[in-house]
Structure formats: structure tokens, C-alpha cells
A = this chain, B = another copy of it.
Amino acid sequence: MKSIQNVPFNEDIDLLSYDIFHGLNEEELEMLSQSMSCSHHKRGNILYHEGSRINGTYIVIKGILKIYKTGFDGKEQIIRFAKNGDLIGFRSIISDELACTTAKVVNEALLCYLPGELLTNLIKVNSEFAMSLMKLTCRELGESNKFLTDIAQKTVRERLAEVLLLLMDTFDLDEDHTLQISLTREELANMVGTATESVIRLLSEFKTDKLIELNGRKIKLLNIPKLIKIGNVYI
């Protein structure tokens, strides 16, 4: 089975429903939908590799991707996850550098490709669009610096609690208080920045302490205030 499948641009995709495109006028939106090409991507599919040249960005319509860097010994460090409404790969377009991360599909995704020139052109002609893109980047930078500090200063235990809460914020809990994303222990370790074994041990510790409940890859958060306390997370 092909891991990528092109789909005709679907009129059901309402570009205006994505914050990032709010500032665009009719004409620009029309141009956008003309040049966008959308496709389904299966789990495991890689959109771009760290170090490769990217010629455009993707907007995520459906599904989840993980954005990660590979350390010199081959270990992944997950930088963030992208989901519905997120733009990926535009950093390299704008900075005019090679991709500094790899983007891999985690949950089957529908993505729309947007040529780089279109993006840079929109930035030039529409200052409101430029501003929202810039705002997006600046916020991401703030988060990156925050996480950098956490990794440098917090213990693995604190970081794991924090990551669970981060996943809650990003993907929500279902009615059952279970995280709406399922990751392998290794992926969790690659977010936290630790060894897989450490995550496994700490998760069962959290379970023993009745903070979470484990069911395979499903994690149910039982005591969020306590997790906040353990993770030293302030909002």
C-alpha cells in the first residue's frame, strides 16, 4: 500500500478556520487553495529529513506528526508535535536553511502542501499574515527556551510529570481522563530527554502513587494537581 495518497483539494477544507490564515483576503485565499496540494500520509511516513532542503510548508488538516532532531549518537529528541492547524517546515523556508528537524507521521494525517514562494510572497504582500506568522514563531521560541531551561535544571521525574501535562494540554483528555495520544515509552523518553528504562520505571512509580493509571500506551491522569506539583509546573 502506498504511504502517500494524493487527494483533490477538498472544498470542505475551510482555510479561514485556521488562525494562521485569518488575515488573508478573498483573492489570497483563492490563490492559496489553487496552489495547495493535499495528501494522506500513513503512520511512519517522513515528510522531510533533518538536513534536507525544504521547498514548501505543510499545514496539518488531520492527524499528528512528531518533529524531532537526531543527536549525534542517533537518539531522537522530540521538539514538538504538530496537529490540526499547525504549520510545519516553514522555519527552514524563512531562515533559508536546511531542515533542522525531521517530521514523521505518528497518527495518519491529511496534509496540504504550500510552495515556499507562495508563503514568502504572502508575507510580503500581507503584513497581517506576516505578523501572525511572526507571532507564532516568537511563541515557539519562548516555549523552546522554557523547555531548554527545564531540561537543564529539572530532574527526569519532574520532566516526565511536566510532559504528561503538556500532552494533556496539547491533545486533551477523553471523558475517561485518558490522554488522547498514545506514544511508546521510547517516544516519551525522547520527549523528556532520558532513557526508555527511566520512563518505564517512573511511570510505574507514578502508577503506584495513584497519579496515573496505565493500560498499554493509554495513560489516564488520576491526580493532576499532584502531577503539577511534582513537575513544578506554573502557568
Contacts and interface: CB of A to CB of B under 8 A. Distances in A.
Given A77-B148, A145-B100, A234-B72, A138 B137 contact: yes
A127 interface: yes
Interface in A186-232: 193, 232
A125 interface: yes
Most buried by B among A100, A120, A142, A234: A142
B69 A145 contact: yes
Contacts of A146: 69, 100
A120 B131 contact: yes
Contacts of A77: 148-149, 152-153
Nearest to A69: B149
A7 interface: no
A144 B77 CA distance: 13
A116 to B, nearest CB: 13
B95 A148 contact: no
A181 to B, nearest CB: 20
Contacts of A232: 72
Given A72-B232, A77-B153, A130-B130, 10 more contacts: A71-B152, A71-B153, A73-B153, A77-B149, A91-B141, A94-B131, A97-B138, A123-B131, A123-B134, A124-B127
B153 A75 contact: yes
Interface residues of A, number: 45
A97 B148 contact: no
Given A131-B124, A135-B95, A138-B91, A148 B144 contact: yes
A153 B75 CA distance: 8
A95 to B, nearest CB: 4
A168 interface: no
Contacts of A145: 69, 79, 100-101, 144
Nearest to A190: B152
Contacts of A125: 127
Name the 8 nearest CB pairs between A and B, nearest first. A152-B193, A95-B138, A71-B153, A77-B149, A144-B144, A124-B127, A100-B142, A69-B149
